[in-house]
Chain A
Amino acid sequence: MARVLLFGRLADQAGWRERSIDAGDLATLRSALAADDAVLGEALAGPGVQVAVDKALVRGEAILAAGTEVAFLPPMSGG
């Protein structure tokens, strides 16, 4: 199970901030999220959305071990 975190407008759009999802890699996780909520799936793949796995930014694919934290980060605004 991966622990999925949404931030900013993505969390508002989805209506949740944290959820556990069974997925062994990032692509499977994205498919599971999109199957559940197609609009969210599209937003997560949208421009400027970055992904952090266990608090480190990743590009492209990533293997997700059990208990991995996956965060979807919309464009950052600064403080």
Chain B
Amino acid sequence: MIVTLTDQPFEPGALVTAFCADRQETGAVATFVGLARAEAGAAAALELEAYPGFTDAAIGEVAQAAIERFKLHDVRIVHRIGRIAPGEAVVFVATAAGHRREAFEACDFLMDYLKSRAPFWKKEHCPDGARWIEPTDRDRTDAERWD
């Protein structure tokens, strides 16, 4: 299991290829890629702040819990930090399991956590200024499905 925070753009395809390589018993790999939306020009850029050493450790703990809960073979998470332009990948999650159901569910579980509870602070830069964003009610209820 590897968790990476990066301030550089990344290429999701290369991550999928690397994650799938050299697996003998994994029958299913599920992946999710989240992209920064332009919001029809309302959002000029997204800025994500993390606490290095704290944020990655917290995500690693939840990834480990997912491995146990869904009997995964492996997890890979890459999350952008810093300023992110519309269209760029913000987050990549890949889960490997013996069969597809566990891989799909674990990917969904990890994304619900990352979107609502992971230790990030999100700022949206708009043409008329910048504002800090809190999780939406939808993000919260999505995350509560797994409690």
B31 proximal to A (CB < 8 A): no
A71 proximal to B (CB < 8 A): yes
Q: Is the CB of A8 within 8 A of B49?
A: yes
Q: Which residue of A8, A9, A79 contacts B79 across the interface (Cβ within 8 Å)? A: A79
Q: Which residue of A9, A71, A75, A79 contacts B54 across the interface (Cβ within 8 Å)? A: A71
What residues of chain A lie closer than 8 Å to B53, measured between beta carbons?
A: 55
Total number of A residues with any Cβ neighbor in B under 8 Å: 15
Q: Which residue of B51, B122, B132, B134 contacts A79 across the interface (Cβ within 8 Å)? A: B122
What residues of chain B lie closer than 8 Å to A75, measured between beta carbons?
A: 134
Q: Which residue of A52, A71, A79 contacts B48 across the interface (Cβ within 8 Å)? A: A79
B107 proximal to A (CB < 8 A): no
Q: Is the CB of B54 within 8 A of A8?
A: no
A-B contact count (CB 8 A): 55
What residues of chain A lie closer than 8 Å to B122, measured between beta carbons?
A: 77-79
Chain B residue at minimal CB-CB distance from A75? B134
Encode contact with B along A1-45: 1 for CB under 8 Å, 0 otherwise.
Answer: 000010111001000000000000000000000000000000000
A64→B93 CA distance, assembly (Å): 37
Segment at the A interface, from B12-20, B65-73, B112-120? B112-120
What residues of chain A lie closer than 8 Å to B120, measured between beta carbons?
A: 76-79
A52→B51 CA distance, assembly (Å): 10
Q: Is the CB of B49 within 8 A of A7?
A: yes
A76→B120 CA distance, assembly (Å): 6
Q: Is the CB of A77 within 8 A of B90?
A: no
Contacts A77-B120, A78-B139, A79-B118 known; list 20 others, CB within 8 Å: A5-B51, A7-B51, A7-B121, A8-B49, A8-B121, A8-B132, A52-B54, A55-B51, A55-B54, A74-B132, A75-B134, A76-B118, A77-B132, A77-B134, A78-B115, A78-B117, A78-B118, A79-B48, A79-B90, A79-B122
Chain A contact residues, CB within 8 Å of chain B: 5, 7-9, 12, 52, 55, 71, 73-79
